């Protein structure tokens, strides 16, 4: 099942694993995260894992960074990018912010292999 949102596409990969792919050039901000939360509230009542696919170029606002993995049912977040340098550049500050805001880094990991990311997420 695929869901088209304003700034991203969300695809259900497994019963409890979803992938979001932000559109090229967008800024993931509070409004974008809020739209995703509305979808989660409509379609989920059990915990899930989220794979953020970084195949497109996008950026994150402060609020987007802060809130992207805070939905109550979102148990794990995997960030996938096949370019490890780009992955580290894009999300290093997200990890630092997560620590500052009290997020558990055990539940948020970066991957350069999509298959490994999905396998890790499926163990909820």
First to last CA, the chain: 20
Angstrom distance (rounded) from CA 49 to CA 65:
17
**pLDDT per residue over 36-92, tens digit each?**
999 999 999 999 999 999 999 888 888 887 888 889 999 998 989 887 676 676 666
Question: What total number of domains does the chain contain?
Answer: 1
* CATH number for position 93: 3.30.750.24
Mean pLDDT for 28-43 is: 94
- Stated as kind and residue range, the H or E segment containing 34 is helix 30-43
- Residue 117 belongs to what domain range? 2-122
pLDDT bracket for residue 96 (50, 70, 90) = low
Beta pairing, strands 2-4 & 27-28 = unpaired
Residue 38's pLDDT is 96
**Span 97-106, pLDDT tens digits:** 555 445 566 7
| pLDDT of amino acid 76 | 92
What pLDDT, on the 0 to 100 scale, is given for residue 69? 80
Strand partners, 76: 49
Rounded to two decimals, the pTM is 0.85
């Amino acid at each position: 099942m695929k869901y088209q949102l304003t700034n991203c596409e969300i695809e259900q990969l497994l019963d409890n694993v979803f992938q979001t792919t932000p559109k090229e050039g967008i800024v993931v901000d509070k409004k974008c995260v809020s739209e995703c939360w509305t979808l989660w509230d409509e379609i989920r009542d059990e915990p899930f894992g989220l794979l953020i696919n970084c195949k497109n170029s996008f950026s994150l606002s402060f609020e987007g960074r802060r809130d992207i993995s805070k939905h109550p049912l979102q148990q794990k977040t995997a960030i996938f990018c096949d370019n490890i340098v780009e992955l580290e550049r894009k999300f290093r500050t997200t990890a630092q912010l997560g620590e500052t805001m009290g997020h558990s880094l055990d539940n948020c990991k970066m991957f350069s292999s999509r298959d490994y990311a999905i396998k890790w997420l499926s163990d909820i």
